[in-house]
Amino acid sequence: MNERETAAAVPAHGGAQLCLPGLEPATGAMTNSVNTPPAASPGRMRDLYPTFAAVHRELKPRSPLPEIEIHFYAFAHLNHTIRLRDGRMRVRISDLLQSAPEPVLEALAQILMRKLYRKPSAARYLERYRRYVNRREMAAQIEIIRRHRGRKRLSGPRGKVYDLEEIYAELNAAYFHGLLARPQLSWGQVRSRHNLAHFDAAHNAILVSRIFDHPKMPRRVLAFVLYHEMLHIKHPIRHEGARRRIHPPEFQADERRFSHWREAEAFLKKL
Ligand SMILES: [Zn+2]
């Protein structure tokens, strides 16, 4: 049986910022998306079949065309998924792209199908797609949708071992002259090793993985993780054309001001 699955989440401004301190998050990485239920049928459905069929013919000229089913879908984030099972291809595209110009949707078809068939992803398609979704008005729309759909389950700042508010206040006094406005602080629901922490601009919240709320976790390592996310408040994401600078040089310079940054980074790398 020919069965392949992939889910593609191409990050855009306002997307969850998965951060490992000191490292750039992987872009275009395959992820499993957490989806909200399908939207009530969107007003205007575009027929994307010809676009997807044409791309399929280009990428797999000798294979018969599978049955292709394409829907716009109300994901909480700017996600798109594609899967092929028993000769049927199912594509779900974020409804945020319903009015995207044809070349953008063609680029998306290229990106998704190349992932599905493990073909090299052509840089020009990624660039075309990113340029569109990173545009200011698109980014603003994504933020609004996220606020409405992305229900965050927050469990509060007080953990079993550490209190995020207490550490935040210390860091704010030590590194920000006490001037950084406090966002919502919360331990995450899951003890995730991959998503250590992130600052969610749409919800003005910093979430920290529960793995840090442990007696064996050095307090200064947790403080460094929180400090990194605080720097995301100080240094908002910068757009340079189609590129996003998540950790620009001035961010990295600030990061090194942390009193134990070398030790903390070394510790985090071993997690
Ligand atoms: Zn970061």
Is the pLDDT confidence value at 5 over 70? Answer: no
* Closest to 94 measured CA to CA, from 135, 131, 149: 149
CA of 198 to the centre of ligand 1 (A): 7
More confident of the two residues 5 and 154? 154
User: How far is the CA of 32 from the CAs of 7, 14, 29, 93, in angstroms?
Assistant: 6, 18, 10, 14
pLDDT surpassing 80 at residue 261:
yes
Task: Tell me what pLDDT residue 201 has.
Answer: 79
pLDDT digits (tens, 9 = 90+) for 166-218: 999 999 999 999 999 888 899 986 566 667 898 887 778 899 999 999 999 99
What's residue 106's pLDDT? 95
Q: How many angstroms does the Cα of residue 17 sit away from the middle of ligand 1?
A: 7
> What are 32-74's pLDDT values in tens digits?
233 333 333 333 457 889 999 999 999 999 999 999 999 887 7
Establish if 116 belongs to a structural domain: yes
Q: Do 132 and 182 sit in the same domain of this protein?
A: no
Tell me the CA–centroid distance for residue 25 and ligand 1, in Å.
8
Comparing 225 with 5, the larger pLDDT belongs to 225
Give residue 23 CA to ligand 1 midpoint distance, Å: 7
The string of pLDDT tens digits covering residues 82-122 is 999 888 999 989 888 888 899 999 999 999 999 999 998 78
pLDDT beyond 70 at 18: no
108 belongs to a structural domain: yes
> What is the rounded CA–CA span in Å between residue 248 and residue 235?
8
Ligand 1 geometric centre to CA of 247 (Å): 6
Specify if 156 maps to a domain.
Answer: no
Residues 87, 185 within the same domain: no
As to burial, measured by CB atoms within 10 angstroms (0-12 exposed, 13-18 middle, 19+ buried), residue 179 is exposed
Residues 144 and 25 in one domain: yes
Rounded distance from Cα 18 to ligand 1 centre (Å): 7
Ligand 1 centroid to residue 246 C-alpha, Å: 7
Considering the domain architecture, whether residues 118 and 195 belong to the same structural domain is answered as no
So what's the pLDDT on residue 30? 29
For residues 8 and 48, membership in a common domain is answered with: yes
Domain enclosing residue 203, as ranges: 164-269
Q: How many other C-beta atoms lie within 10 A of the C-beta of residue 207?
A: 27
Tell me the average pLDDT across 258-271: 92
Q: How far is the CA of 171 from the centre of ligand 1 (A)?
A: 17
pLDDT band, very low/low/confident/very high, at 150 (cuts 50, 70, 90): low
Measured in Å, residue 76 CA sits from the centre of ligand 1 at: 21
Q: If you measure from the C-alpha of residue 255 to the centroid of ligand 1, how many angstroms do you get, rounded to a whole number?
A: 10
Residue 24 Cα, ligand 1 centroid: separation in angstroms?
7
**Distance from Cα 228 to the centre of ligand 1, integer Å:** 6
Higher pLDDT, 217 or 149: 217
- Residue 12, pLDDT > 50, answer no
Distance (angstroms) between ligand 1 centre and the Cα of 193 equals: 15
Please, are residues 234 and 178 in contact by the beta-carbon 8 Å criterion?
no
Ion ligand 1 neighbours (CB, 5 A) are 19
One domain for residues 119 and 176: no
Q: Give pLDDT, residue 142.
A: 78
pLDDT score of 194: 66
